[in-house]
Structure 1
Amino acid sequence: MTTSRKQLHLAAHFPGVNNTTVWQDPRSQSQIDFSSFVHLARTAERGLFDFFFLAEGLRLREHKGRIHDLDVVGRPESLTVLNALAAVTERLGLAATVNATFNEPYELARRLATLDHLSDGRAAWNVVTSSDAFTGENFRRGGYLDHADRYTRAAEFVATARELWDSWSEDGTPRPFAHSGQHFDIRGEFTVPRSPQGHPVVIQAGDSPAGRDFAASAADVIFTRHGTLEAGRAFYADVKGRLAAHGRTHDSLKIMPGVTFVLGDTAAEAQEKAHHIRRQQVSPQNALLTAEQIWGVDLSHLDPDGPLPGFDPEPDPKLTQGRTRLGDPQEIADRWRALSEAKGLSLRETVIEATGRQSFIGTPETVAAEMDAFVTQDAADGFILVPHLTPGGLDDFVDRVVPLLQERGAFRTEYEGGTLRSHLGLPRPVARPVWKG
């Protein structure tokens, strides 16, 4: 499809061990069985999505010394799953979240290049970092990395991986490599020939100034979250504005927020469904657990339908292990109290409203129009959809919203190329000369 109109990109996030997923819904199925991954991936490919996106978890999260409920059935390794999905999909990009703190460049570059070969050029790597000593206990160097060093290691990790991918020439000739830096000092010969994309697509998730700089310097896609058009436009302008300093063009980085959606035949029906979903996502128990992360103490004696705690937070970093901190506890508690008092909300109702992530709620026509507006007004280049059901949560969107986006001329009607880079409109990197020994 040839058009000067700005096109919208779409990706699908597998709804696994996160608090967006509604597990008590009778339509929910396994987050481990291969059939669940196949269903969502094939639905995304039927909808002509750019890629399928898997999260990662290197340790089962804990709360008050017990495994978190959402982790009790386990967390499979993402690249293994995607290698299997490469055999049952044809065009869909396959994106794995892999930690740059607890892996090594040679091994990971090899695994990603292998996926790129097996999938005929559809591999992507979502680069994440960690300075979490709790997670690090699963590894030989647990807890060794200072928080301030996580992005410096990640940047060097990505640069080293690119050197490895470039160590085979375009004509299929292996060349020795060598890298000596702050975090890695390696040399030798890479075992995997140059893959169809040259480099797998690099995705980065982060919103801090360091994360934005890292994305502007090294990523092809940035996975972020911004709930309003204004916030999205500010983030978009900021990150795109950083590209020139790294010698990059405006279109060399795609900004794709993670979003949720709720569809209804009418606006009122969609809002009613959204309210029901939020109450399923934040059960009475879940509301108390969320509040405990803020207040830092056991709150099981409180009534979730009663008021918020009347005392100030007492932060305890060991209460919840392996989960991202929500922010400054006192600031959050003050904000929640103001919200609760202004609207007369209970503890559970406050958590529901304060932590809501539902992004697009309405009829298919409304959702298609709002998504198109985000893209045409430069608040995003597209979206990574996070359904609330596993594995059928994407079905309605593909059946009801995608055709409307196509009618608007905002989304492709067929895949024009076979690689993920072609879907995203990104060039294939040319192999650069590397050190020769």
Structure 2
Amino acid sequence: MSKPLKQIHLAAHFPGVNNTTVWSDPKAGSHIEFTSFAHFARTAERAKFDFLFLAEGLRLREQGGKIYDLDVVGRPDTFTVLAALAAVTEHLGLTGTINSTFNEPYEVARQFASLDHLSGGRAAWNVVTSWDAFTGENFRRGGFLPQGERYSRAKEFLATAGELFDSWHGDEIVADQATGVFLRDAKAGSFVHTGRHFDIHGQFNVPRSPQGRPVVFQAGDSDEGREFAASSADAIFSRYATLEGGQAFYTDVKDRLAQYGRRHDQLLILPAASFALADTDAEAEELAREVRRQQVSGATAIKHLEFVWNRDLSAYDPEGPLPDIDPDVSDNHISKGRAQVRMYRDPLATAREWRELAEANNWSIRDLVINTGNRQNFVGSPATIAKTINDYVQADASDGFILVPHITPTGLDDFADKVVPLLQEQGVFRTDYEGPTLRHHLGLAHPDEASDERAAS
């Protein structure tokens, strides 16, 4: 007897300031005007997606002392954008990336509880830590936490926020018989937390929200990050969008759940994925090549190489060979606020590998970056992409995907119109929303129901 088909979860990552973005395309629009956010969100909702996802940048990135080109338009505040989108959508989940290193539990819990009320139960929190002292300078804290401490703080941060969300649980409103005024027990919202990172007490001033707590996402890939997700998250934002890599990650993380008394279906694994969609597979392949060359201009290729070499390479021709000099392995990085710097932990080994690849394939600097950097995960006609996505999900390489188009704000339109109907015809994606909250979309229990279930077991 064959197992039933899994239902696919789809979400949309607003492209904004990331390396998939193609600014030079005539269809590219603003990354900061509200009309762009609104169009993108409405398209995702029209396609019955689970949620919209916003990344967060707490400081403009720099390269060689200058603002990195993708950041020149700035980075608007996550909560402000999501609250505004709550007013122009009805069902779409609203997921924001909020840092646990530089914020405080009361402040973040209050903002998410408010967003959950305003949206009718559609809020989600992608919990992240900050890794660099450069970003920390905006908060007068620099790199005050070593890497191991960041997850320690994040775990306590999330637990403390949970105590605040739950502080109104079970309190009943009663009417004063003499005055007719509705009153609540004075202990409503009361909290006391004493721990290693936080020592706070008082009263939380936002009542229990529709979801009880926002849906919690986590994005770490380290062993500690995976363990954090298995213990505390509702979904994990994965970077493994290939079949084999996705299956290995899926098995590893899902197998960690049992030790926390959780079932496999209580944590969703959702990789980010880009796509090149055209009428035929051949046209899509050509589009994918064109997009990659648009994404990696000559200047961008040089900047990417500087992540590894940690040197000013502006004098080098991007259409020429790789530098003969070795990378500077000092801790004084010329790239500030760039996550890519962490990816190349052994710059000398990476440089040797890249030189060998460039020599074997007769690649220029730009060719190398195009061929070793991020590529479109799904390339093909609507039928091909629909089949590939479904194959991955049914093979337990993921529970769905968070799609990152290369055009803002219309890059999701064709996917919504051409791929989603095919998934719906196959019976693996909803034709309409079945409940009002994001927890309904994701098939996740309300925290109160989950507590009752654990108590019963």
- Name the TM-score, length of structure 2 as normaliser: 0.92
Which residue type is aligned with residue 119 of structure 2? S
1:132 CA drift (Å): 1.1
Choose from 369, 385, 405 the match for 1:351: 369
Whole-Å separation in 1 of the counterparts to 2:357 and 2:14: 32
Matches within 5 A, 1:354-369: 354-369=372-387
CA distance in 1, matches of 2:141, 2:313: 34
Per-residue Cα deviation, 1:202-222 (whole angstroms, up to 9, x for no partner) = 011121101100110111010
Structure 2 residue corresponding to 1:202, chosen from 210, 216, 220: 216
| CA offsets 1:361-415 (integer angstroms, 9 cap, x no match) | 0111010000001100000000000000000000010000000111111100110
Stretches of structure 1 lacking an aligned partner (at least 5 in a row): none
Check the 8 A contact 1:170/1:194 in 2, yes or no.
Answer: no
Correspondence for 2:424 among 369, 393, 406:
406
Deviations 1:268-314 (A, max 9, x none): 11010000000000000000010011111111111111111122211
Give CA-to-partner distance per residue, 1:166-192, whole Å, 9 cap, x none: 000245561421111111111111100
* 8 Å contact kept, 1:259–1:357: no
1:321 correspondence with 2:343: no
3-state DSSP of counterpart to 1:430: helix
TM-score by length of 1: 0.96
**What is the alpha-carbon distance in structure 2 between the residues aligned to residue 366 and residue 334 of structure 1?**
37
**Superposition map of 1:42-57 within 5 A:** 42-57=42-57
CA contact (8 A) 1:262 1:361 kept: yes
Give 1:126's aligned residue.
Answer: 126
Q: Please name the residue that 2:106 is paired with.
A: 106
> CA–CA distance in 2 between the matches of 1:421 and 1:334?
47
Residues 49-80 of structure 1: CA deviation (Å, up to 9, x unaligned):
00000110100010001111111111001111
Aligned pair count reads 431
Per-residue Cα deviation, 1:142-162 (whole angstroms, up to 9, x for no partner) = 321112211111111111111
- Which residue does the alignment assign to 2:26? 26
Query: Counterpart of 2:217 in 1: which secondary structure?
Result: strand
Quick one: distance in 1 between partners of 2:390 and 2:19? 27
Alignment match, 1:63: 63
The secondary structure found in structure 2 opposite 1:26 is: coil
Q: Which amino acid aligns with 2:212?
A: G
CA–CA distance in 1 between the matches of 2:264 and 2:292? 37
Shift of 1:249: 0.9
CA distance in structure 2 between the aligned counterparts of 1:181 and 1:319, rounded to whole angstroms: 37
Match of 1:156?
156
In the TM superposition, residue 430 of structure 1 has moved relative to its aligned partner by: 1.3
- 1:67 maps to amino acid: I
- CA–CA distance in structure 2, aligned partners of residues 283 and 429 of structure 1: 47
**Aligned partner letter, 2:305:** A
Q: Which residue of 1 aligns with 2:72?
A: 72
SS in 2 for 1:334: helix
Q: Which amino acid aligns with 1:420?
A: L
Higher alpha-carbon deviation: 368-377 or 135-144? 135-144
- Contact 2:164/2:191 (<8 A) preserved: yes
Percentage of pairs with the same residue: 62
In 1, Cα distance between equivalents of 2:325 and 2:240: 31
1:93, 1:123 within 8 Å by CA — same for their partners in 2?
Answer: yes
Deviates more, 1:312-321 or 1:354-363: 312-321
Amino acid at match of 1:344: N
Pair 1:421-2:439 in alignment: yes
- Which residue is equivalent to 1:233? 247
- Matched residue SS, 2:270: strand
Report the Cα distance in structure 2 between the residues aligned to 1:219 and 1:227, rounded to whole angstroms. Answer: 20
CA distance in 1, matches of 2:393, 2:100: 30
**Aligned pair in 2 of structure 1 residues 398, 189: CA closer, same or farther (>3 Å)?**
same
C-alpha distance in 1 between matches for 2:361 and 2:374: 16
| 1:287 paired residue among 296, 301, 304 | 301
What is the distance in 1 between the residues matched to 2:263 and 2:295? 40
Amino acid at match of 2:361: K
**Map of 1:254 onto structure 2:** 268
State the AA in 1 paired with 2:384.
T
Please give the alpha-carbon distance, in whole angstroms, between the structure 2 residues aligned to 1:50 and 1:14: 14
Any unmatched runs of 5+ in structure 2? 173-183, 453-457
